[in-house]
């Protein structure tokens, strides 16, 4: 990251400051911590696993790579590490996790399970 940039992710959300811009976005503590770790040079090239759209957008603005759970499930299926994604999706449902219908549909299409 160029020297004229300062980045921090704090309890107020994400802050990227350049001489011209300052962007603030709110998201959860887990995402803040993961993104802070990814900003550290020793974690360069790491992916942050998050389904939080605001955190994904904030990460993109700083060059941090992200992957969603459904993206990860797709990789597992396409590399033949799992036979299908149904069991993984059911585990999310059993845990009362919110499932984005559009993301689920995209995953099923990519894996040929639709």
- Quick one: pLDDT at residue 17? 54
Say which residue the tokens 């992710």 belong to.
9
Residues in the chain: 114
The pTM of the full predicted model, rounded to 2 decimals, is: 0.68
Q: Which two tokens stand for residue 12?
A: 């107020």
* One pLDDT digit (tens) per residue for the chain, 114 residues: 444 555 565 555 555 554 444 445 567 777 877 887 887 777 778 888 888 888 888 888 888 899 999 999 999 999 999 999 999 999 999 998 888 899 999 999 999 998
- Quick one: pLDDT at residue 12? 54
Quick one: DSSP state of residue 79? T
- Quick one: pLDDT at residue 20? 42
Query: Is there a contact between 12 and 37 (Cβ–Cβ < 8 Å)?
Result: no
Whole-Å CA distances, 112 to 53, 58, 73, 80 = 25, 31, 13, 13
């Amino acid at each position: 990251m160029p020297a004229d940039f300062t980045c921090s992710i704090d309890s107020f959300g994400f802050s990227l400051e350049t001489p011209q811009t300052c962007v603030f976005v709110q998201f959860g503590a887990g995402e803040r911590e993961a993104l802070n770790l990814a900003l550290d040079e020793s974690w360069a090239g790491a992916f942050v696993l998050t389904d939080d759209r605001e955190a994904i957008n904030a990460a993109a603005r700083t060059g941090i790579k992200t992957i969603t759970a459904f993206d990860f499930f797709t990789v597992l299926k396409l590399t033949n590490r799992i036979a299908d994604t149904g069991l993984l999706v059911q585990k999310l449902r059993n845990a009362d996790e919110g499932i984005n219908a559009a993301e689920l549909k995209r995953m099923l299409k990519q894996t040929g399970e639709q």
